[in-house]
């Protein structure tokens, strides 16, 4: 067979004479690259009453003043929801109710809401066999997208985008996501890693967190403490305002009035990216590589040298990023990372992994100060820095870290999708300026 790849390389090389856009032009035309202002804050593109993400304030002149991070779900500080909550084990379901309906449920309302989710836990007949066992996927995020798009075919009125229908369809998908993610993992392991296939049905009196643990473990068993920690992790990932990439992607796509399955698949694609939710897997791989290189008792100098090699694209995936650090809004701290760090400390003690936890903490301190100094801006660790370690301590496989983010964030996507439909409802369509030349058509014989 003729190898045509050389031609493609030639076309691509030649294209550089025709397609370049100098970086300075973005300033010249006032383009808000990445929808960011000069000071890196986000351009205002929407209004929301669902969540507020605070990483800085403004002084009287409008100058940005960095501050410790705070996250509010419907105006309630997440720290309060965690520390003042006595009804343990259903934090994620409570937050889902709060994010969707705007107020905290009473006990009866929470029970009724959980019953709606639990009634929908089971997958449609043959879904498992046809879409997961017969068609294993090598990446679970892509598999989740595929399964979501396939659920469209099981819906008798899939293109109905009425707000109430969106809510119902959304809750139905949300209930099924834990089984889909766990089965996608099991079928991947069975097919690609030749492991035994373990399939447990979801249990209709379990919370989301309990179900995930039960379906994942051959024995179906878990401790109350483990379920509470996973519940807390799901709670902490549930929403992050309308500006975060995967939620904005959802708003962009669903503003065309397309079906909910397409909108959610787009969000999953966005969340998969290693600069967004996919960072939790990258952090885990990066820390594994670092620990292999310098060990848990490395000196501060060795840790700094590792960070330098990461930034200089000499180590790990050579992308120049220290995963788990930096944020578009948070500056001095991400409140979710603060909470997860505390739980990691407790779990690490129980699992005899204190030395690894201590290493994570030391790496955090050094990376935070080094990155802030070299990038001349406050850079803290984000939610993805400790979440993978927490999942690892719970015995959850790495492949499932970002899918767990999907399971949790789905409710945030749904709430924003509905809010946009109700109150904004204009198709998202910004402008792009043409900066090429006008050219004359060149006849074949003159090219």
Ligand X SMILES: CC(=O)SCCNC(=O)CCNC(=O)[C@H](O)C(C)(C)COP(=O)(O)OP(=O)(O)OC[C@H]1O[C@@H](n2cnc3c(N)ncnc32)[C@H](O)[C@@H]1OP(=O)(O)O
Ligand Y SMILES: O=C([O-])CC(=O)C(=O)O
Binding footprint of ligand X on the chain (CB under 6 A)? 40, 275-277, 279, 311, 321-328, 371, 375, 377, 379, 382-384
Shortest spacing between CB 328 and ligand X, in angstroms: 4
Shortest spacing between CB 384 and ligand Y, in angstroms: 8
Number of residues that bind ligand Y (CB under 6 A): 6
318 burial level (CB within 10 Å; 0-12, 13-18, 19+) = exposed
When CB distances are held under 5 to 8 angstroms depending on the partner's kind, the choice from ligand X, ligand Y, none that residue 321 binds is ligand X
Q: Which is nearer to ligand X, 49 or 313 (CB)?
A: 313
Shortest spacing between CB 283 and ligand X, in angstroms: 7
DSSP assignment of 313-348 equals T-STTSSS--TTB--SS-SSB-HHHHHHHHHHHHHH
Q: Which one of residues 128, 215, 344, 383 is an interface residue with ligand Y (CB under 6 A)?
A: 383
Helices and strands per DSSP (H, E), number in the chain: 18, 3
Shortest spacing between CB 336 and ligand Y, in angstroms: 8
Nearest to 324 by CA among 389, 250, 235, 377: 389
What are the two backbone dihedrals, phi and then psi, of residue 201, each rounded to the nearest 5 degrees? -75, 150
Distance between CA 322 and CA 136 in Å, rounded? Answer: 32
Collapsing DSSP to helix, strand or coil, 248 comes out as helix
Shortest spacing between CB 329 and ligand Y, in angstroms: 6
Distance between CA 161 and CA 146 in Å, rounded? Answer: 20
Shortest spacing between CB 12 and ligand Y, in angstroms: 32
Distance between CA 389 and CA 396 in Å, rounded? Answer: 10
Quickly list H helices, 36-151: 78-83, 91-101, 107-119, 127, 140-151
Q: Which one of residues 240, 282, 353, 420 is an interface residue with ligand Y (CB under 6 A)?
A: 240
When CB distances are held under 5 to 8 angstroms depending on the partner's kind, the choice from ligand X, ligand Y, none that residue 324 binds is ligand X
Nearest to 323 by CA among 368, 280, 376, 374: 280
Q: Which is nearer to ligand Y, 145 or 244 (CB)?
A: 244
When CB distances are held under 5 to 8 angstroms depending on the partner's kind, the choice from ligand X, ligand Y, none that residue 235 binds is none
Distance between CA 189 and CA 194 in Å, rounded? Answer: 6
CA 26 to chain centre: 29
User: Is residue 267 within the footprint of ligand Y (CB under 6 A)?
Assistant: no
- Dihedral sign, CA of 74, 77, 78, 82? negative
User: Is residue 328 within the footprint of ligand Y (CB under 6 A)?
Assistant: yes
User: Is residue 402 within the footprint of ligand Y (CB under 6 A)?
Assistant: no
Nearest to 244 by CA among 374, 84, 447, 409: 409
Q: Which one of residues 94, 118, 244, 255 is an interface residue with ligand Y (CB under 6 A)?
A: 244
Q: Which is nearer to ligand Y, 118 or 417 (CB)?
A: 417
Shortest spacing between CB 212 and ligand X, in angstroms: 19
Pattern 181-220, binding to ligand Y, x per CB under 6 A? ----------------------------------------
Q: Which is nearer to ligand X, 35 or 189 (CB)?
A: 35
Shortest spacing between CB 328 and ligand Y, in angstroms: 4
Distance between CA 257 and CA 263 in Å, rounded? Answer: 9
Distance between CA 413 and CA 171 in Å, rounded? Answer: 11
Distance between CA 377 and CA 39 in Å, rounded? Answer: 10
Which residue's beta carbon is nearest to the bound ligand X?
A: 326
Q: Which is nearer to ligand X, 213 or 310 (CB)?
A: 310
First to last CA, the chain: 29
Contacts of 175 (CB under 8 A, 6+ apart): 116, 117, 118, 119, 120, 121
Shortest spacing between CB 128 and ligand X, in angstroms: 30
Shortest spacing between CB 43 and ligand X, in angstroms: 12
Pattern 271-310, binding to ligand Y, x per CB under 6 A? ----------------------------------------
Contacts to ligand Y by CB under 6 A: 240, 244, 328-329, 382-383
């Amino acid at each position: 067979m003729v190898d045509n790849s050389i031609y493609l390389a030639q076309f691509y090389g030649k294209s550089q004479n025709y397609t370049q856009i100098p970086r300075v032009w973005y300033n010249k035309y006032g383009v808000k690259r990445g929808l960011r202002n000069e000071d890196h804050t986000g351009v205002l593109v929407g209004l929301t009453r669902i969540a507020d993400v605070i990483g800085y304030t403004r002084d009287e002149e409008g100058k940005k003043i960095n501050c410790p991070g705070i996250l509010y779900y419907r105006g309630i500080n997440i720290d309060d929801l965690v520390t003042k909550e006595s009804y343990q084990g259903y934090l994620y379901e409570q937050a889902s109710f709060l994010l969707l309906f705007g107020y905290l449920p009473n006990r009866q309302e929470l029970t009724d809401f959980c019953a709606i989710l639990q009634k929908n836990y089971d997958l449609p007949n043959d879904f498992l066999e046809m879409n997961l066992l017969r068609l294993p996927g090598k990446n679970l995020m892509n598999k989740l997208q595929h399964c979501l798009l396939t659920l469209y075919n099981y819906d008798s009125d899939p293109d109905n985008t009425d707000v109430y229908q969106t809510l119902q369809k959304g809750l139905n998908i949300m209930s099924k996501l834990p089984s889909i993610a766990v089965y996608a993992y099991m079928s991947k392991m069975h097919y690609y890693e030749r492991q035994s296939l373990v399939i447990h049905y979801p249990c209709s009196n379990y919370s989301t967190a309990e179900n995930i643990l039960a379906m994942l473990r051959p024995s179906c068993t878990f401790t109350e403490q483990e379920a509470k920690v996973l519940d807390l992790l799901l709670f902490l990932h549930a929403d992050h305002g309308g500006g975060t990439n995967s939620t904005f992607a959802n708003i962009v796509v669903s503003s065309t009035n397309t079906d909910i399955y397409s909108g959610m698949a787009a969000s999953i694609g966005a969340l998969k990216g290693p600069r967004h939710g996919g960072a939790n897997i990258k952090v885990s791989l990066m820390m594994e590589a670092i620990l292999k290189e310098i060990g848990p008792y490395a000196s501060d100098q060795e840790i700094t040298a590792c960070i330098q090699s990461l930034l200089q694209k000499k180590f790990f995936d050579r992308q120049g990023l220290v995963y788990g650090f930096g944020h578009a809004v948070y500056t001095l701290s991400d409140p979710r990372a603060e909470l997860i760090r505390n739980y990691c400390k407790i779990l690490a003690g129980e699992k005899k992994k204190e030395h690894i936890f201590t290493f994570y903490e030391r790496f955090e301190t050094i990376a935070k100060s080094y990155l802030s100094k070299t990038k001349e801006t406050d850079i803290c660790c984000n939610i993805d820095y400790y979440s993978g370690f927490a999942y690892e301590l719970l015995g959850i496989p790495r492949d499932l870290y970002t899918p767990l983010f999907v399971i949790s964030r789905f409710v945030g996507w749904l709430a924003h999708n509905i809010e946009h439909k109700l109150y904004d409802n204009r198709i998202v369509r910004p402008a792009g300026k043409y900066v090429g030349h006008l050219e004359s058509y060149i006849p074949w014989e003159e090219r």
